[in-house]
Amino acid sequence: MKNFMDENFLLQTETAQKLYHEHAAKMPIIDYHCHLIPQMVADDYKFKSLTEIWLGGDHYKWRAMRTNGVDERYCTGKDTTDWEKFEKWAETVPYTFRNPLYHWTHLELKTAFGIDKILSPKTAREIYDECNEKLAQPEYSARGMMRRYHVEVVCTTDDPIDSLEYHIQTRESGFEIKMLPTWRPDKAMAVEVPADFRAYVEKLSAVSGVTISNFDDMIAALRKRHDFFAEQGCRLSDHGIEEFYAEDYTDAEIKAIFNKVYGGTELTKEEILKFKSAMLVIFGEMDWEKGWTQQFHYGAIRNNNTKMFKLLGPDTGFDSIGEFTTAKAMSKFLDRLNVNGKLTKTILYNLNPCANEVIATMLGNFQDGSIAGKIQFGSGWWFLDQKDGMEKQMNALSVLGLLSRFVGMLTDSRSFLSYPRHEYFRRTLCNLVGRDVENGEIPVSEMDRVNQMIEDISYNNAKNFFKF
């Protein structure tokens, strides 16, 4: 029987252990997609308690606590203390066996705080006090956490109207870790609610200095912001979409649709889809012009619980995997850009695992030999961001593409304690490849190549691909 989470955690063979300890573990972290709050990095934020850094905004933990019968006030309430919230999390942890939260919890305690104890109601107070004591020390600040995990680059997720003042402030402070923005223009194509869309366009007008009265004006304003993001080091865009949009449309139709929604009239479903289709193409062309990488996170059904959405707003733990038949639309969208010679580097992330093979085979349709792995299958995302999900994603990519060219892991997190997800991923990767070597499916004589592959997926591929 193996000990829980020892140095060979998840590494089931001797080859896997060597691959991890001698190759994967030493590589720095490029976290090319996350949701860190830039101001926290700029201010080198000091966390008030373990609850703030660990439970604040963490809807993964909130979902588990609710499922375990914990009242909402201990998740998101304002009338409970940090200790009371943490105590309820500690009560929940022993019920999370086989959920990735159990592994993440103990990996984070171990790697961030050097605490090799099992969290439970019995140990909660001593762990809480010890962590809080450490969080009061300078090296446990936001920047300190990034240094602790050997982070080299982080890419935050930012709206086109964001000032990026904290990115600029961080860079000018001389902080050695790069924090770069990512262009996330979802609100510029969110035309479902005319009043919300108009309010957003007015903000875009103000920040860009472009008077917007028609569709061409809006695109001019977005281009101006796109240029500004590029000046601040942006190299990626990201789009959170339910499904891919690839309706047929004319320029005249899109201009008329803009006038209609900007004037306050609700659009038909067909008009909404046409507008989104046009915007995706325009954004794709902008990214191609600058040599950026476009990312697409698709397949979530968000804010399912109307009652809790009204109470707490979005991103509070009431989202789930959706079912969308999107392969044809995805193909048509990518083909539109490709036909015009304007398909830039692309990463596709699916939330429904049934689309793993769909994505893995879609990549090969648009690889053009210009860049290794130009079209990428993104790592297991959100509900798939765990051992089983990551293995399935890597198996599909291995069988139907080139795992060796994979740009690897990211945290997709708001937390400064989420960097161990890179370790979790690297251990899973090394275990998969190590097993193949020990099973005689990869020749031992090719270990130099195998070692290089592990280092590449852990770090080098991302570094070469994004050219930060």
Q: What is the pLDDT of residues 371-413, one digit of tens each?
A: 999 999 999 999 999 999 999 999 999 999 999 999 999 999 9
Residue 240, CA distances (Å) to 35, 103, 110, 295 in order = 13, 28, 33, 9
| Amino acid at the residue 251 | D
Residue of 456 and 325 predicted with greater confidence: 456
Mean predicted confidence (pLDDT) in 206-214: 98
Q: Which residues, other chains included, contact 161 with Cβ-Cβ below 8 Å and sequence gap of 6+? A: 200, 203, 204, 207, 225
Percent with pLDDT over 90 in the chain: 99
278 Rama class: left (phi>0) / alpha (psi -120 to 50) / beta:
alpha
Q: Which two tokens stand for residue 174?
A: 């001389």
Residues forming a β-bridge with 294: 237, 346
Residue 157, CA distances (Å) to 32, 39, 353, 387 in order = 10, 13, 24, 25
Separation of alpha carbons 362 and 244, rounded Å = 13
Q: Which residues, other chains included, contact 158 with Cβ-Cβ below 8 Å and sequence gap of 6+? A: 38, 164, 181, 182, 183, 184, 229
Average pLDDT value for the chain: 97
pLDDT of the residue at 135: 98
Look at domain 12-45+140-464 and name its CATH class. alpha beta
**CB atoms < 10 A from the CB of 374, how many?**
18
Length of the chain: 468
What are phi and psi for residue 448, nearest 5 degrees? -60, -45
Buried b (16+ CB within 10 A) or exposed e, 254-288: beebbebbbeeeebeeebbbbbbbbbbbbbbebbb
Cβ atoms of 390 and 398 closer than 8 Å: no
Separation of alpha carbons 294 and 403, rounded Å = 20
- 335: part of which helix (H) or strand (E)? helix 327-339
Q: Which two tokens stand for residue 4?
A: 């829980």
Q: Which two tokens stand for residue 148?
A: 């602790």
pLDDT of the residue at 196: 97
**pTM of this prediction exceeds 0.85:** yes
Domain boundaries, the chain: 12-45+140-464, 46-139
DSSP state letter for 80: S
Mean predicted confidence (pLDDT) in 438-449: 98
pLDDT of the residue at 333: 98
Q: Which residues, other chains included, contact 459 with Cβ-Cβ below 8 Å and sequence gap of 6+? A: 27, 28, 29, 30, 408
Buried b (16+ CB within 10 A) or exposed e, 125-158: eebbebbbebbeeeebbbbbbbeebebbbbbbbb
Residue 447, CA distances (Å) to 18, 353, 398, 450, 452 in order = 11, 31, 18, 5, 8
The CATH code of the domain at 46-139 is 1.10.2020.10
Separation of alpha carbons 413 and 34, rounded Å = 5
Q: Which two tokens stand for residue 431?
A: 């275990």
Task: List pLDDT tens digits, range 254-295.
Answer: 999 999 999 999 999 999 999 999 999 999 999 999 999 999
pLDDT of the residue at 70: 98
pLDDT of the residue at 60: 94
Cβ atoms of 288 and 342 closer than 8 Å: yes
Separation of alpha carbons 191 and 256, rounded Å = 13
Task: List pLDDT tens digits, range 306-324.
Answer: 999 999 999 999 999 999 8
pLDDT of the residue at 179: 98
Percent with pLDDT over 70 in the chain: 100
